[in-house]
Amino acid sequence: MVPDGPVVPYYKIMQGAKESFTKFVERLTRTIEVQVTEVAPILVTSSRHEPYRLRLTEALHLRTADWTFLSINIKEQGAWPVQGKELVIMGDCKYTPQEVEILPGVLVNNLGDLVLWLRCTHPPTFIPKGQVIAQIIPTRGPNNTPVACPVQAITEERPRVDCEFRVGGETLNIRGLLDTGAHVTVVPAKDWPSHWVLQDVVGHVQGVGGLQLARQSRSIVQIKGPKGQLANIRPFVLDYKEPLLGRDLMSQWGVKIDIPDPSVEISVASIDERPTKKLNWLTNEPVWVEQWPLSKTKLKALEELVKEQLAKGHIVETDSPWNSPVFVIQKPGKDKWRLLQDLSQINNVIEDMGTLQPGMPSPTMLPQNWQLAVIDIKDCFFQIPLHPDDAPRFAFSVPTINREAPRRRYHWRVLPQGMKNSPVICQWYVASLLSPVRAAVGQAIIYHYMDDVLVCAPNDDMLSHVLGLTVDALVAAGFELQEEKVQRMPPWKYLGLEIGKRTIVPQKLAIKTKVSSLADVHQLCGALNWVRPWLGLTTNDLAPLFNLLKGGEELSSPRVLTPEAEKALEKVQDAMSKRQAHRFDPELPFKFIIMGKLPHLHGMIFQWRNIPKKD
């Protein structure tokens, strides 16, 4: 419905000499509006038989190779293909993860539930939210013309609302129809109070039973909506059957029409079930190790840490017959504490899972000048669930001062620090999240070791794409990622190394040479473990340092560097000042050489660039 008016050729619409530009634009707009037929928008496809890709609306974990099914949620879609009566469903060679197999089939195009059958060929695998899982290809429709229709719930009730018209001190209650096709608000003459003054308007109003002479309220009418929204307009009064609330009113009310994006992608609904691995136990007899005493300062720190973990849902109260002692250590240079649990006795009754990743990935296999990003996952273990059957066995007690009250007992719901299989489960869990990302990105490289993830790509655009997929997969699984912990610029620090665009050197470690306790030795050996493979040091080279770990179990037990240990530290510092490696050059061939004498032979894979000598 638009106000009627004379039709003026576009080339004759000129700005008057004294007419402001804004007034001219308003007049131009009105003149054009009466000449342009308003066509209801329709959604069409860009090409015939364009595939409709299905994305997961929730993360999915496939733990077995059995066929399973997912229900496609049609109600959430803003558009649905209507080409013909049949749709072909199949995997998408570009987007479907390699380890996921889709059962091809033909679907009848109705608005009931559609079922997608799929299975994992190499379980387990974790598919993140938003991952394309399959595609639907429409068959030919009537006249071979591709179209798509918006999906909306249509009922017998049209969108009507109650509102209050106010002129002066008088009110009029009206139930009107929200009409987005009406430029103006219309009130039937039979409902308009006779003493509310009207005035004739030049022109007509078209679209309501043909053309009608226009009459409009002389006074500004305040119209109050169902939730107190206010609008001040001058409605039109016509011979019509019901009130129409037009866009002049709705714009002041701030009415919005919530229509889903006209995407041709169809979502698949699934249940987000986080994967877990069950531990194998050598005994089911409860293991109870009594909690040792803690100082008042450490007990206070323990209580704060327990309160924090309880709030995060990492622990729950328990009456488990299992118990292992807990303790706290202060973080170096910080007024913060770290919660640890002595699980040595528990580890003795857990079957070892073995090693999934026997060593760290070598960054020398990253092509020179490719772009990198490094992600440090915060508190990785605390985002990985324990199997519900295993969780009560990782219980601990929080003592009270002078036993003034019963101690409180808790058990972990996530991987505890110190459990011997926690690193293996962590590697398996994170790998299951990154597996579909690796399959989707093709040329890009993703390194993963424990809670460190490195992404490498030939250019910035691909790196941004791969990094986005990786972050989405981790965040969907509940991991916390801090923006400041994502390294985007060189040199990148990764697994004890500094990686440049071409070279790789060990990080400059602040080696603590003043050792006074077992805790100091733990910290020293832990730092050296990261760089030992890159420094070319053997276990025998560092044996004098690792021997200091033997002895008392208390972290506060005294330790002193032996002369042999001091020589080992000197060897470490010397190696750190000399070692350097390079990222490989994609333009050079790899060579292999065997060195040594029987029975001790060594192999080396290398690249060599011939640089001509200068005269």
The one-character DSSP state at 313 is T
Q: How many CA atoms lie within 13 A of 286 on its CB side?
A: 15
d(CA 187, CA 223): 12
To the nearest 10°, the Cα dihedral for 298, 300, 306, 307?
A: -160
Quote the tokens at residue 582.
């390079």
d(CA 403, CA 398): 11
d(CA 546, CA 572): 14
22 burial class (0-12, 13-18, 19+ CB within 10 angstroms)?
exposed
Position of tokens 């889709």? 102
The one-character DSSP state at 230 is E
- State the Cα angle at 569 between 567 and 574, rounded to 5°: 95
Name which of 3, 60, 62, 67 is nearest 29 in CA terms: 3
Which helix or strand (DSSP H or E) is residue 540 part of?
helix 539-546
Which helix or strand (DSSP H or E) is residue 222 part of?
strand 221-224
144: left (phi over 0), alpha (psi -120 to 50) or beta: left
Position of tokens 């558009």? 79
In sign, the C-alpha dihedral spanning 188, 190, 192, 194 is: positive
d(CA 147, CA 145): 6
CA distances (Å), origin 277, targets 194, 274, 387, 405: 78, 10, 6, 37
Backbone angles phi, psi at 63, to 5 degrees: -100, -15
3 state SS of 28 = helix
d(CA 320, CA 318): 6
Quote the tokens at residue 487.
């390294």
Q: Among this protein's residues, is 179 annotated catalytic?
A: yes
Quote the tokens at residue 382.
């605390």
Position of tokens 């429409």? 138
d(CA 551, CA 549): 7
Catalytic residue among 179, 342, 451, 520: 179
Residues involved in catalysis: 179
